[in-house]
Amino acid sequence: MNPKRCAACKYLRRRCPKDCVFSPYFPPNDPQKFACVHRIYGAGNVSKMLQQLPDQTRAEAVESLCFEAKCRVDDPVYGCVGIIHLLKTQIQKTQNELAKTQAEIAVAQTKLSQTHISDFM
Amino acid sequence: MNPKRCAACKYLRRRCPKDCVFSPYFPPNDPQKFACVHRIYGAGNVSKMLQQLPDQTRAEAVESLCFEAKCRVDDPVYGCVGIIHLLKTQIQKTQNELAKTQAEIAVAQTKLSQTHISDFM
């Protein structure tokens, strides 16, 4: 029996094995992190997804799964697809502003070149 | 027994009940759609998530869950968080371009006003 069970094993009320797939990514001091992915994906699915990945990519996979799970808890209809929509709107807005500013610069440069021509007349 | 089982019930090899929670969103002609969310979330979690939502939001919830599941299948480490990073990079790039263009317009306007002043001298 490991007295310092990881947050996942504590949540699942089981002993934390030495080779626990959750233990490196779910420290006991952050129980909410596991509760969130467990609620959305289920412990079995998270374990399966991690086991299919090489060790060196698992920490990042856990972070992205936690992020997506938290988004889904916060917004049960759109999850982090809601964030993607917001960002796409922001890109559209910035691109429109850029196009407008580029049009303004074209007008300013035309005026500038016309003024220079009139300097020589 | 319903002869036209939805894609979910077909996948789960069960009869499709009249009040099937999956049936309106997983038509029998698109089996891949259910296979994808099942692989990532599990049928039980998807069913639970849908049942917690009012009817009129379920179709959009299914679409966003399918999108996220497909992203996770395509990119098991980052899922659709990878897309969020890409979009944020694109916003940063567009904002930089906008700032550069706004600086250019400021220079052009300064030159223009100086040329106008010299017209009067």
Q: Is A64 in contact with B81 (Cβ distance < 8 A)?
A: yes
Scanning the structure block, which residue is given the tokens 């035309």? A110
Say how far apart CA A90 and CA A97 lie, in whole Å: 11
Please return the burial class of B116, using the count of CB atoms within 10 Å of its CB with bins 0-12, 13-18 and 19+: exposed
Q: What secondary structure letter does DSSP report for A27?
A: -
Residue by residue, pLDDT tens for chain B (121 residues) are 456 899 999 999 999 999 999 999 999 999 999 999 999 999 999 999 999 999 999 999 999 999 999 999 999 999 999 999 999 999 999 889 889 988 887 887 788 788 766 665 6
Confidence label for A119 from pLDDT (cuts 50, 70 and 90): low
- Complex ipTM above 0.90? no
Q: Is A76 in contact with B98 (Cβ distance < 8 A)?
A: no
Q: Which among B57, B68, B94 has CB closest to A68?
A: B68
Calculate how close chain B gets to A102, using CA atoms only, in Å. Answer: 7
A59 shares contact with chain B (CB less than 8 Å): no
Report the pLDDT value the prediction gives residue A117, as an integer from 0 to 100: 66
Q: Is A78 in contact with B95 (Cβ distance < 8 A)?
A: no
